[in-house]
Amino acid sequence: MFDPPGRFTEDRFDENWFADLVRVHTRRVFALLYRMTGNAGDAQDLSQEVFLKAWQNRHQLHDADRPTPWLLRIASNSAIDFRRSRASQRPGSPTLPSLDDENQSGMRDRLSSPEPSPEADVLKDERQARMWAALAVLSPKERAALVMRDIEGVPNREVAAALGCSMITVRTHISSARTKMRKFLMSRDRKGAVPEARKK
């Protein structure tokens, strides 16, 4: 799937190294891209681009034993560029996932625990719909920082390395993202509660 275009002569960055990189990091890269783009198909396409870029720019990796921050930086930059491109094509229309899409349902299942109950499925879908809607109000860098730190559990130091900024800036992005999402969800919940109140 990610066959490198020719053999690289340095021992530490040979085809075996690349195969291990793909095997170990495919799920994490896909999860980040999926939550950044909101679309499984786009995330799959971007995943392939990310690993191709990783192979083509492998000489830029200074620590072959710690490729994760470097790879996440490639992935987050790709996702940010993708979202900005989409936003410029459709101003005012944030990218939201189609929760009924067959392929995306399969991808969600792969990223979740096995054999959930029907009730858990309903609650999970409601939570995910709220999360996607709230993520859509964030800037690309806020979204990247929040997804990596709060959803993927990436340490602040690695998030900073991935975004090419300081840890103080990462904390600022995350704090701003949490505030925006909280305000959005509170506003959405108040609007949803109005019809119920009027019925009584």
Q: 71: helix, coil or strand?
A: helix
**Cα–Cα distance for residue pair 168/160, rounded to 1 Å:** 9
pTM of the model: 0.69
User: Position of tokens 């392939």?
Assistant: 48
Cα of first residue to Cα of last residue in the chain, in angstroms, is: 58
* pLDDT per 10-residue tile (average), the chain, 200 residues: 44 82 94 90 94 92 87 93 78 45 43 49 68 90 93 91 93 96 89 51
HSE, CB side, 13 Å, CA atoms: give it for residue 198. 6
**Cα–Cα distance for residue pair 83/36, rounded to 1 Å:** 8
**Cα–Cα distance for residue pair 107/140, rounded to 1 Å:** 22
